[in-house]
Amino acid sequence: MKINCTRLLDELEHLKRGFGGSPRPLEQKLRALSHCKFDHAASLIRFHEALLFFRAYPPSAEVLKEVEAILKTFGQRVAQLRDADADLSPLDDPEVSGITATSVTSNFSYAIICWLAAQYPAQLSIDWDWFEEEERFARPCRVFCHARGRSDGRSACALSGLFVLRERPRE
Amino acid sequence: MVEAHVPYQDYLCSAKGRANEVVWLVERFKSLRISEKEKAEAYDALKIHVRWQFGVRASRTTMRLGTRKVFFHDRPLIARREVSLVDELNSPRIPLRRYLPR
């Protein structure tokens, strides 16, 4: 990132506190920043958050149009960072997560995972790197499962209990 | 019987077939005839970290409620001295609309 892009970003953030003036300086900053390439996740995040602010509180139709045009480039901007082997871990911070072309990893609650599975079934995967204790699967097995011992081509799973979940008799 | 180092990950991969592993697992829990609270407790005990690789429309970058009229904030913010509580309390009530949970 060139030094003037850093300065432009500072000035853009400063303009967030400047309601009521002419939108012209903001429009000029946005046009200039649209040509900037950010090579650090932290700068890209700052740019993203400032743009979201001006999309929420646009002082003019021109600003809104410019902001939305820049936001559409963020998928490409994130991809460029990834291709450059930049540290993308700041993008995972819950405070700023949700930027396009990134992901969120969490131990979502049962209610949320049911909603996600219904809404976005193709976008979910288990992050096994986080799963240090595979034996955790044993607990719900013990609590809820009785192996059926059926032979349906998935014999390994039939033995595991968890994967042949049966209802527990009502007490 | 307790067996150490049971390869649950391998079992899961084998059992789910071509289905998404998270969706498949959730369906197994949903199929149980136990209370929602018990299902939640059993699932939460797994402490599975799930990665959501969301699409463009679900990202904060482009997520936006459609509106017919955009409010353009082209005036200075109201200063505290410009706010009169008496006037505000005597002004017409702000219309409220109740939204039911989906």
- Per-residue pLDDT for chain B (102 aa), expressed as one digit of tens each? 556 666 777 777 888 888 999 999 999 889 888 889 988 988 888 888 999 998 888 899 998 888 888 999 888 888 888 899 999 999 999 899 888 876
Single-letter amino acid, residue B54: F
Tokens (6 digits) for B21: 């592993």
Q: Report residue A60: phi and psi, to 5°.
A: -155, 160
CB nearest to B74's CB, from A55, A59, A120:
A59
Look at phi and psi of residue A143 and say left if phi exceeds 0, alpha if psi is from -120 to 50, else beta: alpha
Q: Report residue A103: phi and psi, to 5°.
A: -145, 165
Q: What CA–CA distances, in Å, run from B40 to A112, A118, B26, B47, B64?
A: 10, 16, 10, 11, 31
Instruction: Report the C-alpha gap between A39 and A87 in whole angstroms.
Output: 9
Higher pLDDT, B33 or A150: B33
Tokens (6 digits) for A95: 């405070």
Q: How many CB atoms lie within 10 A of CB A61?
A: 11
Encode pLDDT of A1-24 as tens digits: 556 999 999 999 999 988 888 999
Instruction: Report the C-alpha gap between B82 and B30 in whole angstroms.
Output: 56
Interface contact B33-A170, CB threshold 8 A? yes
The domain segmentation of chain A, as residue ranges, is 3-92, 110-164
Q: Which of A33, A31, A23, A30 is nearest to A58 (CA)?
A: A23
Do residues A66 and A34 touch, judged by C-beta distance below 8 A?
yes
ipTM of the complex: 0.74
CB nearest to A98's CB, from B44, B60, B75:
B60
Residues in chain A: 171
Encode pLDDT of A100-125 as tens digits: 999 998 899 999 999 999 999 999 99
Q: Which residue has the tokens 């976005």?
A: A120
Residue A162: which residues within 8 A CB-CB, separation 6 or more? A137, A140, A141, A145, B8, B11, B28
Q: Which residue has the tokens 């209802």?
A: A167
Q: What is the mean pLDDT of residues A149-168?
A: 42
Q: Which of residues 116-135 of A touch B (CB under 8 A)?
A: 116-117, 120-131, 134-135
Tokens (6 digits) for B39: 């299902």
What pTM, to 2 d.p., does this model score? 0.74
Do residues A65 and B80 touch, judged by C-beta distance below 8 A?
no
Grouping H, G, I as helix, E, B as strand and the rest as coil, residue A79 is helix
List the single best residue of B3, B24, B51 to mutate versus A (max A Cβ within 10 A).
B51
CB nearest to A117's CB, from B26, B34, B73:
B26
User: How close, in Å, is residue A125 to chain B by CA atoms?
Assistant: 5
